[in-house]
């Protein structure tokens, strides 16, 4: 039997429990270390972060590609994480501010992202919530993906 050189996996962990998902990724890494090229399609950004290189496609076109750290660094996003009892009330308010490109929950925290640090800080301060602890954090790959997809616009291809 010949030696396998390439493995293509299309959303292999969709619907899989957390332990099986972890075991699956351990096996993917073991195969990769052994020299097998593995191509995985996934809509889970935490899984994409486990890959050596990633590619974003939108509407049949390449949006970006490279190492996760490089894609995050090149995104131009500034992200603040807010935590506190009243944080759930703020997403809708912040989304209305022109400086905020996205406001999304990550567990009990709120990520607020945009491209202008000072404008984001102003948007956050204008909420008047002093009981929320805010800290600048590195944008997550999910933050970057959402921003890139928004920039890609609507799918204008003909599907007829």
Report yes or no on 158 lying in a domain: no
Based on the domain organization, do 80 and 63 belong to the same domain?
no
pLDDT tens per residue across span 15-69:
999 999 999 999 999 999 999 999 999 988 889 999 999 998 888 889 889 999 9
Based on the domain organization, do 62 and 81 belong to the same domain?
no
Instruction: Specify the 3-state DSSP secondary structure of 35.
Output: coil
Number of domains in the chain: 2
Based on the domain organization, do 57 and 112 belong to the same domain?
no
Which two structure tokens, joined as six digits, stand for 158? 């003909």
| Predicted local distance difference test score (pLDDT) of residue 156 | 72
Nearest to 94 by CA among 122, 75, 66: 122
Question: Is 79 a residue whose pLDDT tops 90?
Answer: yes
Question: Is 80 a residue whose pLDDT tops 70?
Answer: yes
Question: Is 1 a residue whose pLDDT tops 90?
Answer: no
- What confidence tier does 3 reach under pLDDT thresholds 50, 70, 90? confident
Among candidate residues 71, 92, 118, the one where a domain is terminated: 71
Based on the domain organization, do 64 and 108 belong to the same domain?
no
Instruction: Specify the 3-state DSSP secondary structure of 94.
Output: helix
Mean pLDDT, residues 132-151 taken together: 90
Which residues neighbour 38 within 8 Å (Cβ) at sequence distance 6 or greater? 6, 7, 9, 28, 31, 32
Based on the domain organization, do 45 and 80 belong to the same domain?
no
| Predicted local distance difference test score (pLDDT) of residue 8 | 93
Mean pLDDT, residues 112-130 taken together: 93
> The domain that contains 134 carries what CATH number?
3.30.70.100
| Predicted local distance difference test score (pLDDT) of residue 160 | 63
* Range of the structural domain that residue 34 is part of: 6-71
């Amino acid at each position: 039997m010949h030696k396998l050189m390439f493995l293509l996996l299309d959303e292999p962990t969709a619907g899989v429990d957390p332990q099986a998902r972890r075991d699956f990724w351990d096996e993917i890494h073991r195969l990769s270390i052994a020299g097998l090229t593995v191509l995985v399609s996934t809509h889970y950004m935490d899984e994409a972060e486990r890959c050596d290189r990633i590619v974003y496609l939108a509407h049949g076109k390449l949006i970006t590609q490279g190492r996760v750290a490089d894609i995050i660094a090149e995104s131009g996003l500034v992200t603040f994480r807010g935590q506190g009892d009243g944080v759930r009330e703020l997403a809708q308010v912040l989304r209305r501010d022109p400086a905020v490109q996205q406001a999304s929950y990550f567990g009990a925290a709120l990520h607020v992202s945009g491209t202008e640090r000072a404008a984001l800080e102003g948007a956050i301060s204008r909420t008047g919530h002093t009981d929320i602890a805010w800290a600048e954090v590195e944008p997550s790959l999910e933050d970057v993906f959402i921003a890139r997809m928004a920039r890609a616009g609507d799918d204008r291809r003909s599907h007829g």
